[in-house]
């Protein structure tokens, strides 16, 4: 089943991408010789009209072959008006752009369907995910026993440099009961700490259990306000999104739980707040609104509430109605596109380790996991990968769509194309870069997935 879900995923992504090239080539009058899903040897196919529709053996790509795309291709005078290389720059650019555009379209369709069904689209906060600063330490947890504190930043575990929260979490999860050496940045000081993640058994949807490590740290713990309810005591007091409450009635507040406990116990009583707003400390007063709640034993009790919620490591996009879903779909595609672009930028600047890049093996594994979690997770994963594919295809690397657009941009500026020799050299360089990237992601996939499976199988 794993292979089946992966084939469906790759098939949809490739089909939509190549369908974009195909449709726009036809629209501008270019003759399309082949439309292939997959590379390599032909498995089955049928020629309809002037186009040969093919299913090829290697399902990791596809291609549309228009007449005149290859340099030096012989074209009759009769076919020249319909040859790709005889089209004006704007038409060729339109054909090239249409592949990534259709990948965006696939993601848009999936998101609109979700939003129309009153399901939300979740977009992670990248800065939150890659930041390894601890915002909350649970009482009596391995982290507290080891001496970890709020605002400590983990920079190394067992000699391995840690650049993202995901990397750090994976180290804790995969090492239950094992002592780990942490290097911590505490203010301007480097501190060495040892921690033993607590072994915890968890079960998947089939009931199968596995033991993972738990440190007892969290990012959703600071007293930073994420939202302020309209007409609430917090809004009346002047609190804003992004404010951090540092003390209440002179008592220091470090976590959201501490803040909520104080507010809950002081219904109807005015409280003096010290608030950090973009580095400036300001004084405010707020009176928690008495609110009746039912506790776990069914007893009614009155607590104080001011109408705020914490800052989450992600944002939700929801549609209030069926008619609003298409507009919210655009917002969802835009939000994920910005996230992917930020990720690429942080990879290029070194803020995110290249070890986080995944390839086809990781995608196959993730496709199977998301499918087992349900159709929503599976198609959400397809939408996200489709946006990734669209953006990566637009990078200005020869052999990718972005590389072809780069050549066309140069041609438009020079008013003549680059020489075949220059284009061939640049294409070879682009191919080499692409091969290095493929080798990198395959290495990452092997280290991340294949090696642990082999170790588990042989009991290493």
Distance of alpha carbon 229 from alpha carbon 207, whole angstroms: 40
Whether residue 281 is found in the same domain as residue 368:
no
Q: Are 53 and 130 in contact (CB under 8 A)?
A: no
Q: Which of 265, 281, 310 is the last residue of a domain?
A: 310
For 438, phi then psi, to 5°, come to: -60, -45
**pLDDT at residue 455, rounded to an integer:** 47
CA 396/CA 379 separation, integer angstroms: 28
Structural domains of the chain, count: 4
Nearest Cα to Cα of residue 256 among 306, 194, 215, 321: 306
Same domain, 338 and 294: no
Last residue of a domain, one of 218, 240, 257: 218
In order along its 460 residues, the chain shows pLDDT tens digits of 566 777 788 888 889 999 999 999 999 999 999 999 888 888 999 999 999 999 988 877 788 999 988 777 788 888 889 999 889 999 999 999 999 999 999 999 999 999 999 888 888 777 767 778 887 787 788 998 999 988 888 989 988 888 778 778 888 988 999 999 999 998 889 999 999 999 987 754 455 567 888 888 876 556 788 888 888 999 999 999 888 898 999 988 877 778 888 999 999 999 999 998 888 899 999 999 998 877 656 677 888 999 988 766 677 788 888 899 999 999 999 999 998 888 777 777 766 665 656 555 555 556 666 666 678 888 888 898 899 889 988 988 888 889 889 989 998 998 888 887 888 888 888 878 777 776 766 665 555 544 454 444 444 4
Evaluate whether residue 181 is within a structural domain.
Answer: yes
Q: Is residue 82 part of a domain?
A: yes
Cα distance between residue 411 and residue 423, in whole Å: 11
User: Which burial class, exposed, middle or buried, applies to 454 when counting CB atoms under 10 A from its CB (0-12, 13-18, 19+)?
Assistant: exposed
Q: Are residues 155 and 178 in the same domain?
A: yes
Residue 315 domain-assigned (yes or no): no
Tell me the C-alpha distance between 134 and 156, whole Å.
14
343 with 450, same domain: the answer is yes
Taking the C-alpha atoms of residue 409 and residue 406, their distance in angstroms, rounded to an integer, is 5
CB atoms within 10 A of CB 207: 6
Of 269, 290, 310, the last residue of a domain is 310
Give the range of the structural domain holding residue 154, as residue numbers without chain letter. 132-218
Same domain, 297 and 366: no
Compute how many other C-beta atoms are within 10 angstroms of the C-beta atom of residue 324.
13
My answer on whether 181 and 166 are in the same domain is yes
Residue 95 located in a structural domain: yes
Work out whether the CA dihedral 405, 406, 408, 412 comes out positive or negative. positive
Same domain, 455 and 362: yes
Question: Is 137 in the same domain as 121?
Answer: no
Q: Are residues 361 and 450 in the same domain?
A: yes
Would residue 148 count as lying in a domain?
Answer: yes
pLDDT score for 197? 92
Domain membership of residue 22 (yes or no) is: no
Residue 269: inside a domain, yes or no? yes
CA nearest neighbour of 223 among 248, 249, 244, 251: 244
CATH assignment of the domain containing 262? 2.30.42.10
Q: Are residues 114 and 161 in the same domain?
A: no
Q: In the chain, count of helices (H) and strands (E)?
A: 13, 20
Q: Are residues 332 and 369 in the same domain?
A: yes
C-alpha 114/C-alpha 316 separation (Å) is 12
- What is the spatial distance between Cα 282 and Cα 287, in angstroms, rounded to a whole number? 17
CA 54 to chain centre: 33
- Is 20 a member of any domain? no
Residues 276 and 399 in one domain: no
């Amino acid at each position: 089943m794993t292979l089946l879900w992966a084939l469906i995923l790759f098939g949809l992504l490739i089909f939509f991408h190549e369908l974009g090239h195909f449709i726009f080539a036809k629209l501008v009058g270019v003759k399309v010789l082949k439309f292939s899903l997959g590379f390599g040897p032909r498995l089955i196919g049928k020629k309809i009209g002037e186009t040969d529709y093919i299913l090829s053996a290697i399902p990791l790509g596809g291609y549309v072959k228009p007449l005149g795309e290859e340099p030096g291709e012989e074209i009759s005078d009769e076919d020249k008006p319909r040859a790709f290389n005889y089209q004006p720059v704007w038409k060729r650019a339109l054909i090239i752009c249409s592949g990534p555009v259709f990948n965006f379209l696939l993601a848009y369709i999936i998101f609109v369907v979700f939003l129309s069904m009153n399901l939300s689209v979740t977009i992670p906060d990248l800065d939150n995910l890659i930041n390894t600063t601890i915002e909350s330490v649970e009482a009596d947890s391995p982290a507290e026993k080891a001496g970890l504190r709020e605002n400590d930043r983990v920079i190394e575990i067992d000699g391995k440099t840690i650049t993202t929260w995901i990397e750090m979490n994976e180290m804790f999860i995969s090492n239950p009961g094992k002592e780990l050496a942490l290097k911590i940045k505490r203010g301007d000081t480097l501190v060495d700490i040892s921690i033993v993640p607590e072994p915890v058994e968890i079960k998947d949807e089939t009931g199968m259990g596995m033991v993972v490590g738990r440190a007892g740290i969290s990012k959703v713990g600071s007293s930073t306000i994420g939202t302020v309810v309209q007409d609430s005591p917090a809004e009346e007091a002047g609190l804003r999104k992004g404010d951090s409450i540092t003390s209440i009635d002179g008592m220091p507040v470090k976590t959201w739980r501490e803040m909520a406990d104080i507010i809950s116990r002081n219904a109807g009583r005015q409280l003096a707040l010290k608030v950090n707003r973009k580095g400036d400390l300001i004084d405010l007063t707020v009176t928690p609104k008495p609110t009746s709640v039912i506790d776990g034993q069914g007893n009614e009790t009155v607590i104080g509430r001011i109408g705020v919620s914490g800052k989450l490591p992600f944002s939700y996009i929801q549609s209030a109605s069926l008619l609003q879903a298409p507009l919210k779909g655009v917002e969802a595609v835009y939000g994920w596109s910005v996230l992917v672009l930020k990720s690429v930028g942080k990879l290029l600047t070194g803020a995110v380790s290249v070890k986080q890049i995944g390839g086809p093996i990781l995608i196959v594994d993730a496709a199977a996991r998301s499918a087992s979690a349900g159709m929503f997770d599976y198609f959400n994963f397809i939408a996200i990968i489709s946006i990734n594919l669209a953006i990566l295809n637009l990078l200005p690397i020869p052999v990718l769509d972005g590389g072809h657009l780069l050549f066309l941009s140069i041609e438009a500026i020079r008013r003549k194309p680059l020489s075949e020799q220059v284009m061939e050299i640049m294409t070879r360089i682009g191919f080499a870069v692409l091969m290095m990237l493929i080798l990198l992601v395959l290495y990452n996939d092997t280290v991340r997935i294949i090696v642990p499976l082999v170790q588990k199988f042989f009991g290493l």
